[in-house]
Amino acid sequence: MPMVKLPLTVEHGLLGFVRQQPLHGYEIYQRLCATEKLGLSWGWKQSQLYAELGRLEQEGYLASTVEAQGTRPPRKVFRLTPAGIAAFMDWIASPVPHGRDLQREFPAKLYFAQQEGVDAARALLARQQEACQSWLSEQRAQEPPPGAGQAYARLVQQFRLSQIETILAWLVTCTALLEEHAEGVPSP
């Protein structure tokens, strides 16, 4: 049976750490931990990271070489392959497809998109706003009819709508802050 390509997920953000230079696994882990200080919660243990790096290498997104370290054990140094560069660029250009994944995945996408430049971040924000507008339209189309027995369904519907509207408001704020920064205007 042919291998089914899964959609790009937050794990593809690991490619962003290797984008600027080849790194060994522990260096990637250190950078991953540093992003948690920025609020990007990956929540991975070191062993999970190594397993994910192995999977990305199997998929052809990473290649590795083994470097000797004198008396210490050799270490595996990862670099992006052309397929890895393409997958990473697709990942940061694509909006998060489901609202349930937005909280974990979008901040990572935005973090790496900003490293690629203001245009990449701008494009990601615009695409995510379009996706959210689509979610909003879909939710509005599913609105329960007024009437007895629909009160709970209408409350749940209103909750979902307000979540999407809040996300959209936040994306507008992100865009405005990005534009302020791009123009060199100091943020308050």
Cβ-Cβ contacts under 8 Å for 28 (sequence gap 6 or more): 14, 17, 18, 49, 53, 78
Assigned domain for 188 exists: no
Assigned domain for 5 exists: no
Assigned domain for 33 exists: yes
Average pLDDT taken over every residue of the chain: 87
Q: What is the pLDDT of residue 136?
A: 95
- The pLDDT tens digits of the residues spanning 85-112 come to 999 999 999 999 988 888 888 988 999 9
Q: What is the pLDDT of residue 133?
A: 97
Please report, rounded to a whole number, the percentage of residues in the chain having pLDDT higher than 90.
55
- The pLDDT tens digits of the residues spanning 35-48 come to 776 666 677 788 88
Assigned domain for 23 exists: yes
Q: Which two tokens stand for residue 35?
A: 């992003």
- For residue 108, the enclosing domain spans 10-182
Assigned domain for 3 exists: no
pTM: 0.83
Assigned domain for 116 exists: yes
pLDDT band at 6 (very low <50, low <70, confident <90, very high): very low
Q: What is the pLDDT of residue 148?
A: 67
Domain count, the chain: 1
pLDDT band at 3 (very low <50, low <70, confident <90, very high): very low
Rounded Cα gap, residues 34 and 44, in angstroms: 12
CATH of residue 152's domain is: 1.10.10.10
pLDDT band at 125 (very low <50, low <70, confident <90, very high): very high
